[in-house]
Amino acid sequence: MLHKLYGLRIPIVFSTAMLALISIALLFTLPPTLGTLAPALVDSDNTVCRVLSDGSSECYPMIFQATHEFQPIRPEQQLPKGLHIRINVATGLKEAKLVSSTETEGEPESMAVALSGSDQVVASNQDKTIQLQSKPDEFTIDHGRNDAPIAAESVQKEAVKKTGVTGDINKPVLIHRPDGETHASTHGVGLGTHQLSAFDLTLKELQSHPNHTTLMRILDHLDNVVSQIDYGIDFAKSEYGIPALLDLMRGDDLEVREHAVLIISSAMSNNPQAQEAASRFGLIYELWKLFELQTDLVHQKRFFSAFGVTIRSNVKAILSFSDDNGFKGLSKMVAYFKRNRLPELIKIRILSLFGDMIDPDMFTTHDSKSDAPVSSIHTASADTIKEWCKICSVNWSGTYTTPYKEARDRGMQLLQKQGLCPS
């Protein structure tokens, strides 16, 4: 009986083991679309193997094999100390090479972004520093420099001394761009003397008419930092930054023009102190005049967005722009709105901003008789108000989308609320 029982059990156990082996074998022989292989696996011989999107695989050393030429750093690779690292702006890939005899070897945590030709550096986050080098066409991250004068802790101490605000300098902050994009940033409050000096030199570099490659790299750098509140403020306070970008926005290079206006948007967005500092350059007037000159939809959107983030929620700027004894901004907006073949998207944005500009709830000034809030629309002439009433009327000619009608109706409600248009 036992013999029969064991005779029955042995084949069953054997079959189960075989099935397990077969299952494991199938798992590693299935196509990538069916298997569950990790994106990168470290092999026993210190190599990294990856399954690519097309189903093929590649293997390379786990330790980066540096030479005297820049090579791309592969996923999961480990870097030896003291390498020269850069971001290839053409490919977006991080590259590394051996440090040459003319470069200083140091700790791998100390990194620098090369921008121009100054010995001063701007301390950024996590001991990374922005450095200006002499080679005009080189924009690199130098791995191994040990001459960074200000570490993150020093920046934080300077911030507390300057603002009285304490906080984690490495705490991630979500930066919401005016164009709708959101990216993470780490930033401490306040810049020290060395950072301010070098940052000013970077801005001054814009006025030296660098070649196109160097110019675009400087603009790339500025776009990355001015969305952070204190860099935005110092950018607006600089004697070089806004005038240089206004000159670039008046130029013929469409790529440079678009990049420059995006930097303005980033610096001014949700930054009242930067908006106030920029007012001495007449920024809102210059942005409006530049907006009027744009002929393609992309640049119309970019310039109107920059104008909008600079003036929206900025009561002083709204009143200054709207004053009928000054720039006559609301009158200019009417004239622009009535242009032939103006894209509906731009009309919607103008109507939306117009509603924000005349909303009495935004204003702290009051009528002495009724104690009611007084909005910017009261600075406009009677003819200008009449034109806005026509534009916001349902009888305005044309067939429009729901977003247009909603922006138009809001404008009319705000005008009627202040007794400026017939009900």
* CA–CA dist 384, 285 (Å, integer): 18
**What DSSP state is assigned to residue 78?**
B
* Close Cβ partners of 203 (under 8 Å, ≥ 6 residues apart): 222, 235, 238, 240, 241, 244
Average pLDDT, the chain: 69
Partner residues linked to 186 by β-bridges? 172
Partner residues linked to 232 by β-bridges? none
Instruction: List the structure tokens of 419.
Output: 């007794």
**What DSSP state is assigned to residue 373?**
B
DSSP string, 218-246: HHHHHHHHTTSHHHHHHHHHSSSHHHHHH
Other Cβ atoms less than 10 A from the Cβ of 253: the count is: 13
pTM summary value:
0.56
The burial class, CB within 10 Å (0-12 / 13-18 / 19+), for 380 is buried
* Close Cβ partners of 178 (under 8 Å, ≥ 6 residues apart): 265, 266, 269, 305, 306, 308, 309
Per-residue pLDDT in tens (0 to 9) along the chain, 423 residues: 434 333 333 344 444 444 444 444 443 343 433 333 344 555 556 888 888 777 788 888 988 888 888 889 888 888 887 777 766 645 667 788 887 654 443 333 222 333 333 333 333 333 333 333 323 332 232 333 333 223 333 333 333 343 333 333 233 333 333 444 433 333 333 455 555 666 777 778 887 777 888 888 889 888 888 888 888 998 999 988 999 999 999 999 999 999 999 999 999 998 999 999 999 999 999 999 999 999 999 999 999 999 999 998 888 888 888 875 567 899 999 999 998 889 999 999 999 999 999 988 877 554 445 455 567 888 888 899 999 999 999 776 667 899 999 999 999 999 999 999 987
State residue 101's pLDDT score.
53
State residue 194's pLDDT score.
54
Degrees (nearest 5) of the Cα angle 263, 229, 152?
110
Q: Which of 286-300 are b and which e, b meaning 16 or more Cβ less than 10 Å from the residue's Cβ?
A: bbbebbeebeeeebb
* CA–CA dist 136, 14 (Å, integer): 72
State residue 410's pLDDT score.
94
